[in-house]
Structure 1
Amino acid sequence: MHAQRIEAMHAALRVDVLFLAVSYAVRSAEAFVAASLSPERRREMARRAVTAELATALHLPERTVQRQLDEATALSTRLPATLGALRDGSITMAHARVVVEQTTDLGDDDRDACARLDELLAEFSTSHTAATVRRKALRLREQVISETIAERHRKARAKRRVEFEAAADGMAWLHAFLPIDDAKLIFDRLDRVACVNRDARRPEEVAPATHSSSAETTGIDQVRDEQLTADQVRADTARDLLLYGTLDDQSALADAVARVRPSVHLTVPVLTAMGESEAPGLLEGYGPIPPEMARRLAARAPSFTRILTHAVAGTVLDVDRRSYRPPADLARWLEVRDGTCRFPGCNRPARRSDIDHTIDYADNGRTAHHNLAHVCAAHHHLKHETSWSVRHIGQGSLEWTSPAGNTHETHPENPIPDRPPPF
């Protein structure tokens, strides 16, 4: 921890030096560029000149240096709370980058929103991972930004695209920038295909596949001595569907994965669903989405599990002591409440985690909302096989205690009241 604080302080020092460098270049633009240029053009070319200077001196790509200069400028001019936390080692540069990312599109009209986000996220970052801060930021933005999420979504949607990025050793990245509903369902289906492969497939059961368009077998059917990993199956399935439009229909696995359908929770305020409110919906694993998208998905998208905010009032929150397994409605309520594994810093989806009795069932722990929480397999073992411990502290929040005695609180992604009032 001490080494991490020192590393964060060094990162803050680098931010200060970069900002001083670019500020000096802009103030002394006449030393870098021709006086015949307009003032705006002189400032732009001065920045480009110092960017090239630093890139060549540090042996870094200019795009990398440009990104670092943009981050330094944002932190130094618009995000004082975040930069202060970085300087005293309370957060890492990864946290600071998330705050920059979540405020970079805010213009002069949203200065107050930017300042509020800076304060809230800087404080939140001191006790959470960068990934968790990003999820929190998506929700906080809706509370402070003046422009509606629908307006921002229309602008962002116009930027959808696919990008190719070469990598080393004969590999490459293929990025798709898509609306969140499409991207979430695509990844969820790939993820479920990976689970089908890992849970139900034996290498000897699958024969090599053939495609008239290629002499190579597809990744879904190409099995060697070892089982493929989930990441490999997701990548291979995406490759097969994009290249061939389908999976090989001769494969037993292809028959299984063809039946896989994505499923994602969508929580919609009841007045939004009725068209009487513009409050955003909430998409599992992401956060707020435009109300128009929420209404469309709630009405016509069978792959989304639609949950009206008030509908949870009828959910069973407790069951008889003799029952160990939670009933389906309680399990779904817990999945919506928790969102992810409830161990500190873990973002594994709740649907891929276990429902754990905080006080063990064998020790008279009840199968009830106040004694259940999602914990992924790895952290489930950690809880039961090490001296890590956990207890419920109300409203779905948990307090974990480490072997060294340190305590960490985690809070549900969707803090639904323990006993919601009836309609």
Structure 2
Amino acid sequence: MRDVALERSPQDDGTACLRITGPLHEILGLARRLDTSARAVQAQQRHALEDGSPVPFDLDGDTAAEGSAMSLAAIRYALITRTMLDTAGVEVPRERHRINVVVPVLTLMGLDDAPATYDGVIPLPAGMARRLAAGEEVWHRVLTDPTTGEFLPLPADQYRPTAAMVEHLRLRDPVCAAPGCTRTTSSDAENDHIEEFDHSDPQRGGPTSIENLHRLHWAHHDAKTKGRTDPVRNPDGSTTWTVGTPTRAEVTIAPRTDLVTPIIAAALADSWAQYEWTLELDALERMGEFERFEREAGPYDPALDIGYGVEPVWGTPPCSARYDADPPF
């Protein structure tokens, strides 16, 4: 369903709502384009205020008069209501990366309905994810550890992360890696070396590697650069953050993983355990152990379960039982 509808406030307070309804990925794409445009305008306004040049997109002259760039909310609203998404000559940068819709392989094959994720944080129904994947000419394979779900690292040996590394970081850190921050890393985020890169002697430390990188909102990146926070990557992949000098707070953040992978691994392990248990029951039956037990213990009587601590096994003959203690044979 695709629709644009005007809704008046039920309180008759002079406000209204323009509701846009459509497929989730299309609405999120529109929101992203609007947000990217607003950030580009705001950045140009800040630069103009700093160097004294004419302020772009200053529709009412308030920005120059007040000496402060418009808020992102105000720019978004102005773009929609007054310019039809025209940024008044400000060039909006193109997306530097693709938008990731991560679909578990079993979901893609139609063998499971585990949800996909849009841009790492927004769940998508399995059916919609499969339709999106079917409309793409190129799929990108993402490898994760088969038990923990951890995204497998990629090698690197230079200061600036490669495009593939940035994509990997966006998968692992869909939101800012700073504790408590919920800003997404698709835009307005920067790549940061946890252990600072040594430009004079790169071999001394601070490598450009997945293990030593994360994505931070620019404000948190700035705070780290100024020494207000200090992250340390631990051998298990977690990151310990300390705040202040001397330390005023310390917190350890576990590494983010693909949650579906360990769930599927656990389900497969449980299914295998049940399969082995079925094989064991079949072997006991072929060996005549159940018949011998009937001869020695008598017919199965549910009333004796409490006394003997046994339970019937679903889907097996009435004489079969699961023993909580060692069996008598």
- 2:220 aligned to 379, 392, 415, which one? 379
Q: Percent identity?
A: 28
CA distance in 1, matches of 2:77, 2:11: 15
Distance verdict in 2 for CA 1:257–1:401, change over 3 Å: closer
The equivalent residue for 2:305 is: none
Which segment is superposed worse, 221-230 or 398-407?
221-230
AA aligned opposite 2:242: T
Match of 2:118 in 1: 283
User: Would you say the 8 A contact 2:191–2:213 is kept in 1?
Assistant: yes
Cα deviation 1:64-118 (Å, max 9, x = unaligned): xxxxxxxxxxxxxxxxxxxxxxxxxxxxxxxxxxxxxxxxxxxxxxxxxxxxxxx
| Gap runs ≥5 in structure 2 | 199-203, 262-329
SS of 1:193's partner is helix
Paired position in structure 2 for 1:137: none
TM-fit CA distance, 1:393 = 2.4
CA 1:177–1:396: 2 relative to 1, 3 Å = farther
TM-score normalised to the size of structure 1? 0.46
Greater CA drift, 343-352 or 274-283 = 274-283
SS in 2 for 1:190: helix
Partner of 1:184: 28
Gaps of 5+ in 1: 1-156, 207-219, 418-423
* Structure 2: distance between partners of 1:337 and 1:296: 24
Q: Which amino acid aligns with 1:361?
A: F
Residue number in structure 2 paired with 1:355: 191
Larger Rg: 2
SS in 2 for 1:375: strand
Amino acid at match of 1:228: M
Give the Å deviation of 1:357.
0.7
1:222 and 2:59 correspond: yes
SS in 2 for 1:374: strand
Which residue in the other structure is 2:54 paired with? Answer: 204
Identify the structure with the greater helix proportion. 1
Counterparts of 1:170 and 1:261, CA distance in 2: 40
> Matched residue of 1:204: which SS?
coil
* Aligned mate of 1:195, from 39, 42, 45: 39
Aligned AA for 2:115?
P
Q: 1:260 to 1:400 in 2, by over 3 A?
A: closer
CA distance in 1, matches of 2:237, 2:79: 37
Match of residue 242, structure 2, among 389, 394, 401: 401
SS in structure 1 opposite 2:43?
Answer: helix
Q: Per-residue displacement from partner, 1:334-361 (whole Å, max 9, x unpaired)? A: 1111011111110111132111111101
Structure 2 counterpart of 1:358, one-letter code? I
1:22-101 equivalences in 2 (<5 Å)? none
Mark the CA change 1:399 to 1:377 in structure 2 (over 3 Å): closer, same or farther.
same
Describe the shift of the 1:413–1:383 C-alpha distance in structure 2 as closer, same or farther (beyond 3 A): same
CA distance in 2, matches of 1:367, 1:325: 7
User: Is contact 1:266–1:307 with CA below 8 Å preserved after alignment?
Assistant: no
- Give, as a single letter, the amino acid of the residue that structure 2 aligns with 1:370: E
Q: Please tell me whether the aligned partners of residues 270 and 309 of structure 1 are also in contact (alpha carbons under 8 angstroms).
A: no
Q: Match of 2:100, SS?
A: strand
Q: Name the CA distance, whole Å, in 1 between partners of 2:113 and 2:33.
A: 29
For residues 197 and 97 of structure 2, what CA distance do their matches in structure 1 show? Answer: 32
Distance in 1 between residues matched to 2:99 and 2:179, nearest whole Å? 23
Q: How does 1:157-176 map to 2 (within 5 A)?
A: 163-165=7-9, 174=18
The alpha-carbon deviation at position 405 of structure 1 amounts to 4.4
| 1:217-255 Cα distance to aligned partner (Å, 9 max, x none) | xxx6725225333222222223247xxxx4459x423xx
- CA apart distance, 1:286: 3.3
Residues 248 and 319 of structure 1, relative CA distance in 2, 3 Å threshold: closer
Q: Is 1:264–2:74 an aligned residue pair?
A: no
Q: Give 1:420's aligned residue.
A: none
Is the contact between residue 267 and residue 306 of structure 1 (CA under 8 Å) also seen in structure 2?
no
